[in-house]
């Protein structure tokens, strides 16, 4: 995988993007067993990091991709993988779902 520094956004930045109806894909790369809740938004797509090498072609290449996981550990690996496949507009959410929930933002169970 190529070295790629993926820019970081806060959960507040993500919430503003969701509220503002910005065109992007929120890519949840948590392990399948950790996907007990999600952000209820049609832009959210669940592809575990373990399955990303099989499903990366399902991700629209021209859109901004916001990477999110449970605490922020898997997003850098996912971002490097996608950068290696030619994706350019990648960001990761600092603290992942754990921080998003801690900050009081809604999720769907």
Distance between CA atoms of 53 and 59, rounded to whole angstroms?
11
Domain range for 92: 8-102
Tally of domains in the chain? 1
What's the pLDDT score for residue 2?
A: 61
CB 38 within 8 A of CB 29: no
Which residues of the chain are under the pLDDT cut of 70? 1-2
Report the length, in residues, of the chain. Answer: 109
Is 80 contained in some domain?
yes
Element (DSSP H or E) covering residue 46: strand 44-46
Residue 61: the pLDDT is 87
CATH number of the domain that residue 78 is part of? 3.40.250.10
pLDDT, tens only, 4-29? 789 999 999 999 999 998 899 999 99
């Amino acid at each position: 995988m190529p070295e790629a520094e993926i820019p970081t956004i806060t959960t507040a930045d993500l919430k503003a993007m969701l509220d503002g109806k910005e065109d992007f894909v929120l890519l949840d790369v948590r392990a399948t067993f950790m996907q007990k809740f999600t952000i209820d938004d049609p832009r959210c797509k669940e592809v575990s990091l373990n399955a990303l090498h099989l499903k990366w072609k399902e991700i629209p290449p021209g859109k901004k991709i916001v990477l999110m996981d449970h605490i922020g550990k898997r997003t850098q690996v996912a971002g490097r993988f996608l950068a290696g496949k030619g994706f350019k507009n990648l960001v990761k959410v600092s603290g992942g779902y754990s921080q998003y929930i801690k900050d009081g933002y809604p999720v769907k169970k």
